[in-house]
Structure 1
Amino acid sequence: METKAARRSPAVLLTTWCTTRAVLLLCVFKVYVFPGPDVTSDVSVTYRGWYEVLRHGTFPLDDVTWQYPPAAALPVLSPAALPFLSYEHAFFVLAFLADLAVLALLLYAARRPDRSRRGAWTWVAAVPLLGPTVYARYDVMVTAVAVAALLAGARHPRAMGALAAFGALLKVWPALLLAGAVRRRSWAAAAVTAAALAALFAVAMPGAFAFLTFQRDRGTEVESLGSLVFHVARHFGWDGQVLLNYGSIEFLGPYVDQVSTAALALTGAGFGWLLLWRLRASRFAPQTLPDAAFTAVLLFTVTSRVISPQYLVWLIGLAAVCVTHRASRMGAPALMVALASFLTVLEFPLGFTHVVLSDWYGITLLVLRNGLLVAATVTAGRSLWRATVPPPMSAPFPPQATRAQETPVSP
């Protein structure tokens, strides 16, 4: 709950944001060296290497670690907008500005009478729990696009669809923002935007969709839900390996293919549940759009073969939009995501050696973090279903009574 002081003035919130973000900047600029592996190497080595290829008008066709849709070239190339800084420093500044943009959007949305600053506080408090990784990946930029799309929502369905499509071409997952969209204009705008941008990239830059074939031989990443099988199995004689594969640390060896296939099956089951929900749901309120997006991305995340630390940035952003709505039922899942973010920084980078070695400390961190994400997914799904799907005994009531309780949605 917000205090009276917090409702009157955002001064405490802004002070907290400035303080925590200053610490994050000090870490990525290496004024203060954050313990554990260097999280900025993805920018200074990987992104910088892609930048050198992309600026010549082609995608990294010979690099299997390039596993992103074509618009991902834009954030990788974006440091060129600040030529007076080194590539790495320019990237960190732009990530910081994306963080600021999310805060500004959430504060602007909180001005409406049916909204609150809970969303802004969620963003301010939960993001620094992930540590400097937040500014050392381009996911915070994608999250800014996703937050803008959801806040456009019911008032600007075409803008929402276009932003969701643009986000999907940055990193796929924002396509799930459309899970709760009921206006045809959102879907039409998304389709037109995606088709136009995809055609533009395909014509302008060779290899725009080579990423689709670069993940075929991936294993199971050591932080994923399925990886727990092998972390425990290593203590009972499993003779597989932990190797750098396709840009991440993965398990390779006996039964990995089966576990990876099971993860894909779970993802399919999650999408099946979402489809069933859309067919059954009939009570759509303003908060349904972000609540459905949050639930969909949770399903995608927990069933993925990879749960990288930066994935939590997506979930924090979507959770923040949800709880901006006073009527949202996503408060508990949002809190679970915030707690999972703190456990994430404990396992990466602080305890990543323990995770790679599969010792009991590393396993415990993963069980707790992934367990919280599973609990958040189940809780969010149950809350979304109860809020939008009429109970079986509602049929005898007059249709007029049911419609009166719903928020009208025009096509």
Structure 2
Amino acid sequence: MNERFDRSMKPAADGAAGVDAAERSTKRRPQGISGLETLAIFLAMAGVHAYMLWFASWHESIPFNDVTTVYRGWLDDAAASGEIPGIHAPLVYPVLAIVPMWLASVIGGEHLYAVGWIVVVFLANCLPLYLLAAHDANAFNARLRLRAAWWWVIAVALLGPAALGRIDAITIPIVIAALLFARRKVATSGALLTIGAWIKVWPAAAFVALVTAHRHRLRAILAGAVVTALVIVTALLVGGTDAFSNLTSFVSGQTGRGLQVESVAAGWFVWLGSIDVPGYQIFFNSEIITVEITGPGTAAVAGVLTPLMFILMLGFVAMAVWSLRNGGQFARVLPALTLGLVATFIAANKVGSPQFYGWLAAPIVLGMIWDGRRYRLPAIVGWVVAALTQLIYPFMYQFVMSAHDAGALVLGVRNLLLLTLLVMAFRLLLPVRRRRFVPLRASLTAGK
């Protein structure tokens, strides 16, 4: 039980007034989370995982292709050559990404690898689900946490198979858990976010938000440094000095990318292609397994996106610092800043893969718990963005790749809603101005 609430329950020294106060406090106490509700949400999340596995097993788009072909292929190559991706050989992801891929192989083997992957993802999702729907079930914010947990389960279902069939599915629960620990266990939060960033880069945005907003930021930085040192030392012990270049191969592997057709910046060019403006071509880049668009202006836009991303991120960080110095509270700044940085990471990216939109769940879940009503609209927009993303992939992907009018329209609406979330994040960072309380006597005196 919450200690502060526990103290309020203690009656004054043998007095009836103290007992009455305790009874009133009991009546005001919000309802906790029952065991049945906790079981229901875990079963719902398990059901979503099972459905996505079934859907991926027959749909013509092969939405788990990254898992069953790419990830499994890397493991097979490693077994044949004895070279660990990310240590002995380059890897498009940070080196710890190979760990959940290997765990899926241990669980599912060669023939049931997709099943093993879903089990690993579900186990990863159980940690934040426990923190949201089972841990401290009688706390004052228990119902808010349960509501946020149900929002997350529905968001996963709306986003579709891409929410579970990519390496991002491992990092999203890590970031949610890290943010839930942020207030009281900042070192744990920093360590988890660093682990997430060594699986897929995007949790670094949440790490930046944490060290910007938390007054004990040095603890997070130290924890992150320890995790990074352990990763590097382990890789060097296993692979020797040559491992260092492979540890950073995920950075150089992204520099040659063109403009992915699903990215926000590509939306304008897809629309131009849909109205038959000459010069635009959509093609499959087999080297990095992505669909890109080329044509007048695409190379220039792709070249400016990375600098733009850093400029926008610096702007959000500066805005957060200003907000904190002008009365902004940590509980409001952290989710808003995380939302802004994550949305920027998606919007100003040459890549726009559908799984990226699952990243939005982490700051929205935190905002729903810590900042309540102000996240109602972002939560709804987040659901719509997830649903439109699933509509784009896998259901309308052929329309997008062929620059069909319908594909360009759905893609454009989804991208505009993401930019709307970016604007919402900026507004949520603004300090909440409360009217100053003026005692009645003072106001009457001033009016004379």
| TM-score, structure 2 normalization | 0.78
Q: Structure 1: which 5+ residue stretches go unaligned?
A: 395-411
Please name the residue that 2:238 is paired with: 204
| TM-aligned CA distance change 1:381 to 1:289, over 3 Å | same
Q: CA deviation at 1:341?
A: 0.3
Please name the residue that 2:174 is paired with: 145
Q: How does 1:44-83 map to 2 (within 5 A)?
A: 44-55=68-79, 56-59=82-85, 66-82=91-107
Please name the residue that 1:131 is paired with: 160
Larger RCO of the pair (alpha carbons < 8 Å, separation 6+): 1
Please name the residue that 1:220 is paired with: 259
| TM-aligned CA distance change 1:365 to 1:82, over 3 Å | same
Question: Are 1:334 and 2:360 an aligned pair?
Answer: no
Please name the residue that 2:416 is paired with: 371
Is contact 2:171–2:196 with CA below 8 Å preserved after alignment?
Answer: yes
Please name the residue that 1:264 is paired with: 306
| TM-aligned CA distance change 1:139 to 1:31, over 3 Å | closer
Q: CA–CA distance in 1 between the matches of 2:391 and 2:55?
A: 19
- Structure number with bigger Rg: 2
Q: What amino acid sits opposite 1:262 in the alignment?
A: V
| TM-aligned CA distance change 1:16 to 1:156, over 3 Å | closer
Q: CA–CA distance in 2 between the matches of 1:257 and 1:144?
A: 35
| TM-score, structure 1 normalization | 0.85
Q: CA deviation at 1:225?
A: 0.9
2:126 to 83, 97, 100: 100
Structure 2 SS opposite 1:324: helix
Please name the residue that 1:409 is paired with: none
Q: What amino acid sits opposite 1:300 in the alignment?
A: F
Structure 1 SS opposite 2:71: helix
Is contact 1:103–1:124 with CA below 8 Å preserved after alignment?
Answer: no
Q: CA deviation at 1:16?
A: 5.8
Q: CA–CA distance in 2 between the matches of 1:305 and 1:13?
A: 40
Structure 2 SS opposite 1:330: helix
Please name the residue that 2:280 is paired with: 240
Structure 2 SS opposite 1:172: coil
Q: What amino acid sits opposite 2:229 in the alignment?
A: A
Cα deviations across residues 38-83 of structure 1 (Å, max 9, x unaligned)?
101111110101112345342279998x421111111221213315
| TM-aligned CA distance change 1:8 to 1:160, over 3 Å | closer
Q: CA deviation at 1:326?
A: 4.8
Q: CA deviation at 1:284?
A: 2.9
Is contact 1:333–1:377 with CA below 8 Å preserved after alignment?
Answer: no
Q: What amino acid sits opposite 2:230 in the alignment?
A: A
Q: CA–CA distance in 2 between the matches of 1:215 and 1:202?
A: 23
- Give the number of aligned pairs: 386
Q: CA deviation at 1:309?
A: 1.1
Please name the residue that 2:62 is paired with: 38
Q: CA deviation at 1:261?
A: 2.0
Cα deviations across residues 308-346 of structure 1 (Å, max 9, x unaligned)?
111122112331122122557333222211110001111
Is contact 1:159–1:189 with CA below 8 Å preserved after alignment?
Answer: yes
Cα deviations across residues 250-280 of structure 1 (Å, max 9, x unaligned)?
1134322111123223312211212312431
Q: What amino acid sits opposite 1:104 in the alignment?
A: Y
Please name the residue that 2:43 is paired with: 18
Structure 1 SS opposite 2:293: strand
Q: What amino acid sits opposite 1:384 in the alignment?
A: L
| TM-aligned CA distance change 1:61 to 1:152, over 3 Å | closer
Q: CA deviation at 1:281?
A: 2.7
Q: CA–CA distance in 1 between the matches of 2:388 and 2:33?
A: 33
Please name the residue that 2:21 is paired with: none
Q: How does 1:113-192 map to 2 (within 5 A)?
A: 113-114=140-141, 116=144, 117-178=146-207, 179-181=209-211, 182=214, 183=216, 184-192=218-226
Q: What amino acid sits opposite 1:74 in the alignment?
A: V
Structure 2 SS opposite 1:211: helix
1:288 to 308, 329, 333: 333
Q: What amino acid sits opposite 1:200 in the alignment?
A: T
Q: CA deviation at 1:290?
A: 3.0
Q: CA–CA distance in 1 between the matches of 2:55 and 2:412?
A: 31
2:431 to 386, 396, 401: 386
Please name the residue that 1:273 is paired with: 315
Q: Structure 2: which 5+ residue stretches go unaligned?
A: 1-28, 437-448
